[in-house]
Structure 1
Amino acid sequence: MPAIADLGGTDGWGPVHPPDPAEKVFDEAWEGRAFALAVLGMGRISGQNLDAFRYALGRLDPHAYFEEGYYGRWLNAVELMFVESGIIAPDAVDARARNLSGEQVEEPPAPELSKPDYAATGPGSLRQVDGSPRFAVGDRVRAGEVPPAPTKLPEYVSGHVGVVEHVQPAHLLPDTHAVFRGENPQHVYTVRFDSRDLYGAAAEPFALTIELFDSYLEPA
């Protein structure tokens, strides 16, 4: 099943409104605090494992993901990571909010800590890997079936054939890195797809390019 953010090619979301360059970074003060809490919380739980944070985002329910705004989504994701790591109880945030609003409820104690024992093997997300890339510029490749979450293979390119445009540096594989099962770096390819192949002959003609990991691809 695709992640909640896998929306490519779906209908019903309305027009895209590009941001005004003059807009403030944070429309309201709470958004800046939510951003800081998310960044600091992610560091405490996962050692800045961005894939784990994105995986938490992808597991939010529709209300938490779509209805509470961009920074609300970040805050909901880091709260999920706090709960799963045993730093706070599942109902702790709700209980604290009710107390701050004037109610008198008992805040649940934190459960047993289950924070992942994780340390990155190097800075950032790029790594060196042994061996040459499996594909070269100009090769025709097919995107495979979408594997179980977490994954960064979007459903709308699954099964379709594209052409390798660039070979990118090797990158940590989100499928395992997000759940602390190893970094497993792989070569990454920029693959070009034809919009009419993806969305049908009546689609506006354009080229869509997307970065795909080696294990997502097979020769066409």
Structure 2
Amino acid sequence: MTRPHDMGGRFGDGPVVPATDDAAFHADWHARALAITLACGALGKWNIDTSRHARECLSPQDYTRFSYYEKWLGGLAALLVAKGVVTRAELAGGPAALSYFGPSDLDPIDLDPRALRADAVAGVLAKGGASDRPSDTAPLFRAGDAVQTRRKAENTSVAGGHTRLPRYAAGTRGRVLRHHGTHVLPDAAAHGTPDQAEPLYAVAFKASDLWAHPEHPLDEVVLDLWQSYLQAAP
């Protein structure tokens, strides 16, 4: 099963039109969408892979009609409710939300100490979130090795779960360019499974091997892929 976000090389969606200016945001609310997403992420209720999966799980109708930052907000809203941070009524601005702005018998919000304050933003962004981990799993491949991705681009542990193997590269032969070290496996991290670190590789694929009618057949596409996605090419 694939989700609507996995659209690389698909016909019928029109050309990708690059932006012609250097503006970081093309509407004021885009910056606010980014800010609230970062602030909510700082609460520690999910990780980047969980948030990616939330966007992927938007309904096909919403995913195809939403703009980029609308997808971010749609996924964020779903996460806030799923993780018990807010209720649907609070998101809708109903009576439950009003209690936060007046006398209330509610307990203090236990997430407040984790709130991302304005003076901490620069440091948090500079620090980032490291995904590399120590592991006993030895790398099976090295630069120059011929590999093949598994034939089905799916999460092998969680049905319909998150994976970073795109459908267009499934079952395709490629060449290892480099070993990035050992990193958290998104297929596990997106679903709350304790860190499962695996070797991560940059793998190059010929455009002509990925698509039947590539615009530039001699081009290569480089993907970062985890070891469990790969096997030695026959």
TM-score of the aligned structures, taking structure 2 as reference length: 0.76
**Runs of 5+ unmatched residues, structure 2:** 100-110, 112-127, 156-160
Matching residue of 1:82: 80
Is the contact between residue 46 and residue 52 of structure 1 (CA under 8 Å) also seen in structure 2?
no
Amino acid in the other structure paired with 2:59: D
Q: Aligned pair 1:54/2:52, yes or no? A: yes
The 5 A counterparts of 1:10-159 are 10-23=10-23, 25-46=24-45, 49-94=47-92, 96=93, 106-107=95-96, 123-144=129-150, 145-148=152-155, 149-159=161-171
Q: Does 1:7 align with 2:7?
A: yes
Residues 35-44 or 65-74, more deviating: 65-74
Cα offset for 1:162? Answer: 1.1
Structure 1: distance between partners of 2:154 and 2:52: 16
| Secondary structure, counterpart of 1:64 in structure 2 | helix
Runs of 4+ in 1 over 3 A off after TM superposition: 105-109
Aligned amino acid, residue 58 of structure 2:
L
Distance 1:86 1:12, change over 3 A: same
Kept in 2: contact 1:45–1:81 (CA 8 A): no
Counterpart amino acid of residue 20 in structure 2: D
Distance in 1, Cα, partners of 2:95 & 2:69: 28
Is the CA contact 2:45–2:83 (under 8 Å) kept in the aligned structure 1? Answer: no
Give the distance between the partners of 2:28 and 2:207, measured in 1 at CA.
41
Q: What residue identity is the alignment partner of 1:78?
A: L
% same residue = 30
- The number of residue pairs the alignment matches comes to 198
Shift of 1:208: 1.6
Letter in 2 for 1:140: A
CA root-mean-square deviation: 2.5
Aligned-pair distance for 1:91? 4.8
- Give the Cα–Cα distance (whole angstroms) in 2 for the partners of residues 141 and 20 of structure 1: 38
Which residue matches 2:122? none
Match of 1:175 among 187, 204, 207: 187
In structure 2, C-alpha distance between the alignment counterparts of 1:37 and 1:123, rounded to whole Å: 17
Measured against aligned partners, the alpha-carbon deviations of 1:97-125 in whole angstroms (never above 9, x if no partner) come to xxxxxxxx65589xxxxx9xxxxxx9511
- TM-score, length of structure 1 as denominator length: 0.80
What is the CA-CA distance between 1:9 and the residue it aligns to? 1.4
Separation in structure 1 between the aligned mates of residue 34 and residue 171 of structure 2, nearest angstrom? 37
- Give 1:127's aligned amino acid: R
Number of the residue aligned with 1:102: none
User: Residues of 2 paired with 1:175 and 1:46: CA distance?
Assistant: 17
How far 1:45 moved relative to its partner? 4.7
Output the CA distance in 2 between the equivalents of 1:107 and 1:152. Answer: 38
- For the residue of structure 2 that corresponds to 1:156, the secondary structure is helix
Unpaired runs of at least 5, structure 1: 97-104, 110-114, 116-121
1:198 aligns with one of 192, 207, 210: 210
Asked if structure 1 preserves the Cα contact closer than 8 Å seen for 2:148 and 2:172, the reply is yes
2:49 partner SS: helix
Paired with 2:87 and 2:45, the residues of 1 have a C-alpha distance of 18
